[in-house]
Amino acid sequence: MAEWIERSDALQPLLADVPTLVGLDTEFMRTDTFLPRLALVQVQVGPRIALVDPIAEVDPAPLARVLADPAHTIVMHSAGEDLEALATWQCAIARLFDTQIAASFAGLGAGLGYQKLVREITGVELPKAETRSDWLRRPLSPQQLDYAEQDVVHLPELHEQLTARLVGRGYLGWFEQDCERLLERARNREPDPEPQLGLRGAADWPRDKQALLRRVLRWREATARTVDRPRSWLLDDAHALDLVARPPREANELADRTKGLRALRSAQRADLLEVLRAPIADDEREFTPIPHAPDARDKQVVAKLKEAVVARATELGLPDGLLCARRHLESLLATRRWPAALEGWRREVLHDALMERLP
């Protein structure tokens, strides 16, 4: 039976004698905020499982010390968003074992969900009913408490079985690289410096227009974080493109054209108007132009690059999506620069095969 911890003085004894392996999961909500709202932290320490309530203002310092100690391996499943949620509680992990990543290297398939992986490894069928629960409500229901406990109780066995498979297949080193890359991204979570690249509808725009779009999107990111509201509530992509294409002449026009944006209040509209009006500085013209959608010829090249990835993945017995996503192939073709996401072991196995296929 899991322990419910809602006081700081109850957390310290749990972590007084921590084994090398610690299971961890979180529940969080992100429906009306920019940052995830941490609602629950599940911790498996030896035979004990604790459900820690961050809403009750538990001091996370004892847990943060354990997670930051590289002597402890923290076992999680699909940890990317959990790491972001934990960061809001001043917790960062030094050494991660992500069971979803491990399953890919172990030959069980890419992107496996926790329930499916537990069934594959242990034969246990887990409940799914609470996946979209309201984890911020209190008290949590018995069903929620059971679901939260199940999310960590199987992690030690998953770790043991998956480690054996990784060692047997010779992929433990590559797996550890990927876990470290995931942690590095969490440690250095910075706003995208070139968010305009995702809006290909503006690929034909003049350079100054693209620079202005970049400025507006970067303003959106910073402001959404400050007011802690979803980006689309502040300024969705359609409004951003429209305002940059036809900048409003004055505040009333901006207000009329942005009705319905729930987080764009008068103060933010005033800021946005200044952002739209300010001249483009010379240093703002230094950016990567928005790429056009691939034409027929580009698609043929990307298809050949994809064939090389699939062939190499087949040789290695790994999912091709684990080796390289299609977007990285498109980036390689457009920029002729090796994508940062393909550094490490991926460069070793893919570089020559991909570069020789570029026209």
For residue range 80-121, what is the model confidence (pLDDT) as tens digits?
999 999 999 999 999 999 999 999 999 999 999 999 999 999
Q: Is the pLDDT of residue 131 over 70?
A: no
For residue range 17-71, what is the model confidence (pLDDT) as tens digits?
999 999 999 999 999 999 999 999 999 999 999 999 999 989 999 999 999 999 9
Q: Are the beta carbons of 122 and 154 closer than 8 angstroms?
A: yes
Query: In this structure, are strands 21-29 and 48-52 parallel, antiparallel, or unpaired?
Result: unpaired
Distance CA 270, CA 250 (A): 10
For residue range 290-342, what is the model confidence (pLDDT) as tens digits?
988 889 999 999 999 999 999 999 999 999 999 999 999 999 998 889 999 99
For the whole model, what pTM was predicted? 0.93
Distance CA 282, CA 20 (A): 53
